[in-house]
Amino acid sequence: MKNHIIKTENISKTYNPDTVPVHALKAVNLEFSKGEFTSIVGPSGSGKTTLLNMLGGLDKPTEGHVEVDGVKITGMKDSKLIEFRLQNIGFVFQHYNLIPVFTAKENVSFIMLLQKRSKKEMEHRAEELLNKVGLGDRMDARPKQMSGGQQQRVAVARALASEPKFILADEPTANLDTSSAMNLLDIMEKMNKEQGITFIFSTHDQRVIDRARRVITMVDGQVHTDEIHKESSSTITENDSQRIDTE
């Protein structure tokens, strides 16, 4: 029964219902399974961000509800929901959104600190993850001292650090140049393949879309198409993984 980790039940979202109503989502029914590598695409204003906010429990649907791993998060008390996000959901944002006064390693450790993990585990895991995203030599750099691509890789490491059930990323490559974007995708893909980490990300970028195994197209607040792509270009090669490690 629980082969899906996220399920939306007829969710709709209407902004400004009392003044100028905007129907950003209209009765969306979707299920996501463990280990997915899914892209949400669609024209600007089609409701991608709104949908991701619902999946991540950052906003509430006007109608319908969202279940995460069998738990109904819609209607959950605010403080419980924050704790739920901490323990279950990883986020990567378009603007990286690292803590500017923290180093890369501190940024990755911080979320584990919120989870009250042991200091030893935090240290170990933060270093391991930063090595995995190819930033083993930038652990003590602050966000300002890193490129956008590097910052976004720290953000991915941070999202992974809390061992979430899935990671949501709203346009994670929008602010990156092509090579940084592809590099980030390589890392995400590798995590997905090797550790079964679930990624759901929105994007406008065709090269990013091409890497996804499932592509959901939104149009005007509704799911237009929902396709499974055959594994092709997304297969990770010997070459790719070396590129990640030496970056």
Ligand X SMILES: Nc1ncnc2c1ncn2[C@@H]1O[C@H](COP(=O)(O)OP(=O)(O)OP(=O)(O)O)[C@@H](O)[C@H]1O
Dist CA 150 CA 142 (whole Å): 11
As measured in angstroms, the least distance from the Cβ of 111 to other proteins is: 6
Does position 93 bind ligand X by CB under 6 A? Answer: no
Does position 58 bind other proteins by CB under 8 A? Answer: yes
Does position 50 bind Mg ion by CB under 5 A? Answer: no
**Going by C-beta distance under 8 Å and a sequence separation of 6 or more, which residues neighbour residue 132?**
157, 187, 191, 244
- Name the maximum alpha-carbon separation found in the chain: 56
* Parallel, antiparallel or unpaired: strands 37-41 and 214-219: parallel
Among 170, 173, 227, 169, CA closest to 197: 169
Q: Provide the mask over 22-51, with x wherever binding to ligand X is found by CB under 6 A and - wherever it is not.
A: x-x-----------------x-xxxxxxx-
Count of CB atoms situated within 10 Å of the CB of 144: 9
Q: Provide the mask over 213-242, with x wherever binding to Mg ion is found by CB under 5 A and - wherever it is not.
A: ------------------------------
Residue 245, amino acid:
D
Can you name the residues that pair with 235 across neighbouring β-strands?
none
Among 71, 113, 219, 228, contact with other proteins (rule: CB under 8 A)? 113
Dist CA 88 CA 84 (whole Å): 6
As measured in angstroms, the least distance from the Cβ of 23 to ligand X is: 8
As measured in angstroms, the least distance from the Cβ of 58 to other proteins is: 5
Site for other proteins in 61-80 (CB under 8 A): 78-79
Binding residues vs other proteins (CB under 8 A): 49, 53, 56, 58-59, 78-79, 82-83, 85-87, 91, 93-95, 97, 99-102, 110-111, 113-115, 158, 162, 170
